[in-house]
Amino acid sequence: MNYYILQDGILKRKENTVYFINKEEKRLLPINKISSIFLYGQVSLTSGVISYLSRHGICIHFYDKYGNYLGSYYPRDSLVAGDVVIKQSEHFLDHDKRMFLAKSFVEGAIRNISKNMRNGSEGILGYLSKIEKCKDIASLMGLEGNVRSLYYKYLDDILPNEFKIIKRTRQPPTNAFNALLSFGNSLLYGTIVSEIYNTQLNPSISYLHEPFYRRYSLSLDVAEIFKPIIVDRILLKLLNKKMIDESCFRKELNYVMLNEKGKRMFIKEYEEKLRSTILHKSLNKHVSYQQLIRLELYKLIKHLLDIKKYKPFVMWW
């Protein structure tokens, strides 16, 4: 399970127990049940806590007051395999191999975006034929950006006035929808980082997004496939069912951010989505949305090792 801390405080260890402590409470963390910790407050960690969490393979993800991802504490890799890392690097350095994977991530994103549209999906799907014409990463990223722009225009036509996107803004978000979208995307990013940790993949070697210092860019690649499936669908549910309103936001100067009430609301829906299951077509068994992410990473490994050609996951519902 994922564990979320939205308040300021300190994480302390006493023998084989970790506590979150602040002025209001002293809370025991169920370490044996936790896979990742998401910190949204100003939280101090003692060296004893870090050492203990490392031994249990627990990733810690840090976020700023806007909900933007700051970084992760990534325990020492226990599953790293040299052959996989070598193949990852080879597929990055070889232009054609890199472009194949980058195009696959964009294809998956486009197909999943189209599934969220009641009408106008034909225009979005029309971009699939343009993917093969892209000769470099820059043109591919530009195409993906055009698809997103069309998608956001579609959403603006169906969203209530107070939740229209108008323009995608990130750091900081300037309206309610952008605040929701940024918060959800950053949650997903952290989740994928944790899932990568549990595979033989190196999180800093990516294909669509440029590898960058202190950034786990492979998570950004995989997130393109799952943002429409997980984050966007949660967001649309919250708005369509009027589960979230202006009382869930805080406005300061020229930016908007989710307050604690809004964060808790989104996290509740996010966790429910990750735990919910679908009947997987290929496996013929029920798997959770979080397991879908892990399965996608295994598919990528099989491609890198020349076992089976990678094909991005596309929802059919």
Q: pLDDT tens digits for 247-295?
A: 999 888 778 889 999 999 999 999 999 999 999 888 889 999 999 999 9
Please name the residue ranges forming H helices in the chain: 47-55, 82-93, 95-115, 121-125, 128-131, 137-158, 176-197, 217-226, 232-240, 260-275, 289-304
Q: Name the pLDDT band for 41 (thresholds 50, 70, 90).
A: confident
CATH 1.20.120.920 spans which residues of the chain? 82-304
Q: Is the pLDDT of residue 173 over 70?
A: yes
Q: How many Cα atoms sit within 13 Å of 285 on the Cβ side?
A: 5
Of 166 and 294, the one with more pLDDT: 294
CATH of domain 82-304: 1.20.120.920
Domain 2-56 has CATH 3.100.10.20: yes
DSSP annotation of 101 reads H
Partners of 277 in beta bridges: 288
Q: Name the pLDDT band for 213 (thresholds 50, 70, 90).
A: low
Of 111 and 282, the one with more pLDDT: 111
Q: Is the pLDDT of residue 66 over 80?
A: no
Between strands 36-39 and 59-63, the pairing is parallel
Nearest to 220 by CA among 34, 69, 92, 59: 69
* C-alpha 97, offset from chain centre: 24
Calpha distance 199→298 (Å, rounded): 8
Which of 18-22, 37-41, 172-176, 238-242 has the weakest average pLDDT?
Answer: 172-176
Residue 13, H or E segment: strand 9-14
Q: How many Cα atoms sit within 13 Å of 155 on the Cβ side?
A: 28
Q: Name the pLDDT band for 67 (thresholds 50, 70, 90).
A: confident
What confidence score (pLDDT) does residue 101 get? 98
CATH 3.100.10.20 spans which residues of the chain? 2-56
